[in-house]
A and B are shown apart, each in its own frame.
Chain A
Amino acid sequence: MSTKLFAPHHWRRKKSIVSICVVAGLVGAGYAATTAAGKTGKTQDVTLNVSLFGDFGYHDLYKQYEASHPGITIKEDIQDYATHHSNLAKHLAVGGAADVEAIEVGFIAQFAAQPQQFVDLRQYGASSLKKRWLPWKYQQGVASNKAVIGLGTDVGSLALCYRRDLFKKAGLPTGRAAVSRLWPTWKRFIAAGQRFQAHAPKGVKFFDSGSNVYNAMIGQATPAYYDRNGKVIASSNPSVKAAWNLTMKGIAKGESAGFAAFSNDWNTGYKNGTFATVTCPAWMMGYIQGQAPNTAGKWDIADVPGDGGNWGGSYLAVPKQSQHQSEAADLVKFLTSPASEAAIFKQTGNLPSQPALLKSRAVVGFKNPFFNGAPVGKIFAASALKLRPQILGPHQGDIQQAASNAIQRVEQHKQSPAKSWAQFLKDVKAIG
């Protein structure tokens, strides 16, 4: 454990700290927090608010941090994914942001375009920690003016979770090496789906949702929705269209259960075993275990078709509104430290974003009994190290949403693939 993490705090704040002129507009709050003075050299009681989406598994780490930093209390607030990010935007505009805010990769490009709203973590030594992270992961948290607005928590490198019992019933191999050999490419994956469907138990489909298969393919495409110059190329990029076509083929062959990912029906589908495979970013392991504890041991994990790919993963940032910027920055460094990321991986399955950890025995040697003892550490770490970074853009999430809706329209037999694609292009045009 690096001692730097626990270095004494700089209680004396930089003089220049900041009157945050919030665009409070007419809400009237006139929220101008000038907090230059006030701090003395003594330890003061400080409450740090941490705002997250979903459970990051930080509770034990908070306790540890509070114990080693007397006077600091940590409060956590959890919202769902969409609410959290729209709240963050609201709070940045009119005040009320927490001291530490999580930002998911789908939103990082957008918030990184607002560096004036966030503390540049280089002020607190982020540059010297840079080599901890996968280079692309670190880079995505860097704004165009080189300010570091967020430090990486986890990455969502891809694998494929599958149900051994259902594969067996459908006459497919069940060992993870053999299963991985079934689908070196996505084309072969869809073909394996046809084999599965031929002898599948009644009502069971090969994959959960067309959009999850599609998103995995998109996650591997470099570039995908944005090109190097920040231009939206979703409608002209052949790899996007290829991913779409292949997804449509799978749906046409009856391989999709047609769930909307993260819907109630999807959750129930896990419990009832309505689908045999699901695209598995590392964090999905925790999700499956939470949704369907009754399926323990029936799952296993194979390599993802294609190469690498990332879905999800987050950053921790400190808004300039924070009254305790140096303390908050220190907490961010602690929560993204190698020791913390390793602990979180063991607890939740969220994969560290740091190469040294990805090669460490703690990660590589980790096996998950829920997934039939699969060497999940090895599988996900290998996938993360292979991963080629994708160029993200500010409206990444909106384009993704439009694509998911487009795929759903086909799955719900509301539109033909061609019509749905045309509407998707129209949506993309409106977004970009």
Chain B
Amino acid sequence: MSNGSAAVPAAAARRRGATRRLRRLDTKVSPYLYIAPFFVLFGIFGIFPLVYTAYVSLTDRNLLEPTSHFIGLANYAELFHDSYFWNAVENTLGIWVISTIPQLLLALAIAHLLNRSLRVRTFFRMSILLPQVTSLVAVALIFSQLFGYRYGLVNYVLNHVGIGNVNWEAGRLSSWVALSTMVTWRWVGYNALLYLASMQSIPEELYEAAAVDGARSWKQFVHVTIPMLRPTIIFTVIVSTIGGLQLFTEPYLFQPVKGAATGGSGRQYQTVSMYLYEKAFGSSQFKFGYASAIAWCLFLLIAVIAFVNFLLVRRIRAVDA
């Protein structure tokens, strides 16, 4: 139909022009339409809450009050003088450091082992992923029992080797260690699997060349494997930074009495997310404005630390450097 008779050339030319324009439009616009679903959803569930939270953080919004007022940066000013906030930042960073570093090193070691020819290799490779498919709540509750002061399994063992009971939950460092154990247990397999996949894509020739140059197993690992893993390491470091700094479920459920989210009687393991929750929902205050300010500070903190990590990890030398 569209290319009917040429009786009216002008019309045909017009039509051809229209088709061309359409086609051009098609090449220009359709790609955006194809990727639009993601960005529309991201806009609604990603960008919008972010921006809206920023707006709420400038108000004295309270969940129970019908009206709120614009108060500028007052929430942020208060936050910077809030010793509990800085305490939460310190806890978050502390727990993050003692969980992420051993976790990634361990994952690297495990991946290295699994990359060799083992018997029932698939079995081992699959089983390290098991913690990942376990419900987070179950993990947190079971570990809390294991680390119980009076009746916990860990203390039972410590007692038998003569160390005596540790009140894991009550102490600052001890609670961090307990929480890091949970995080590490859950995530080490996932990271190991990523490293493993990446290791398998390293060309065999590199190892052969290294062997010819006289590099032994350890030297090969340091000078071939790790540099080749660089992109994966960057990825895992950034992902664990984001996850680690948002830590909530594990410390929340580690509390002997849930609900208030103070992270222990002395706030010894209250993370920033928990403090946010305490201000927004965990107490009878429902300070949404203040909690939103905390949320934005957390966001900035994560952005800064992820960037610093990126700069640090980027310095791993590439193979050919």
Contacts and interface: CB of A to CB of B under 8 A. Distances in A.
Interface of A: 23, 26, 80-83, 85-86, 89-90, 92-93, 106-107, 110, 113-114, 116, 260-266, 268-269, 274, 394-398, 401, 404-406, 408-409, 412, 414-415, 431
19 contacts: A23-B66, A26-B52, A80-B258, A82-B282, A86-B281, A93-B63, A107-B284, A113-B64, A260-B256, A264-B144, A264-B148, A268-B151, A274-B150, A394-B284, A395-B284, A396-B284, A405-B262, A414-B265, A415-B266
A365 B284 CA distance: 39
Nearest to B283: A398
Interface in B103-145: 144-145
Contact of A264 (B256, B262, B284): B256
User: What DSSP secondary structure best describes chain A's contact surface?
Assistant: helix
A429 B314 CA distance: 47
Contacts of B63: 89-90, 93
Contacts of A116: 66
A168 B144 CA distance: 35
Contacts of A107: 284
B123 to A, nearest CB: 35
Interface in B253-267: 256-260, 262, 265-266
Given A110-B64, A414-B266, A265 B150 contact: yes
A261 B265 contact: no
A404 B265 CA distance: 8
Contact of B286 (A89, A106, A266, A412): A89
Interface residues of B, number: 28
B256 to A, nearest CB: 3
A116 B65 CA distance: 10
Interface in B141-169: 144-145, 148-151, 167
Nearest to B141: A264
B256 A265 contact: yes
B80 interface: no
Given A114-B64, A412-B167, A264 B266 contact: no
Contacts of B257: 260-263
Contacts, number: 84
Nearest to A396: B284
Contacts of A415: 266
B242 interface: no
Interface in B234-273: 256-260, 262, 265-266, 268
A194 to B, nearest CB: 23
Contact of B145 (A86, A264, A274, A397): A264
Contacts of B150: 265, 268-269, 274
B284 A110 contact: yes
B19 interface: no
Contacts of B66: 23, 116
Contact of A80 (B151, B167, B259, B265): B259
Contacts of A408: 265
A8 B52 CA distance: 48
Contact of A86 (B148, B262, B282): B282
Given A114-B64, A415-B266, A26 B167 contact: no
B170 interface: yes
A116 to B, nearest CB: 7
A268 B256 CA distance: 12
Contact of B149 (A85, A265, A396): A265
Interface string B269-306: 00000000000011111100000000000000000000
Given A26-B48, A261-B257, A264-B148, A412 B284 contact: no
A80 B48 CA distance: 32
Contacts of B170: 412, 414
Nearest to A410: B265
Contact of B259 (A26, A83, A264): A83
Contacts of A110: 64, 284
A85 B259 CA distance: 10
A82 B266 contact: no
Contacts of A264: 144-145, 148, 256
Contact of B265 (A266, A398, A409): A409
Given A80-B259, A116-B66, A260-B257, A401 B283 contact: yes
B256 A263 contact: yes
**Shortest beta-carbon contacts, A-B, top 8:** A82-B259, A263-B256, A408-B265, A412-B170, A86-B281, A405-B265, A260-B256, A409-B265
Contact of B285 (A260, A263, A398): A398
Nearest to A262: B257
Interface string B1-19: 0000000000000000000
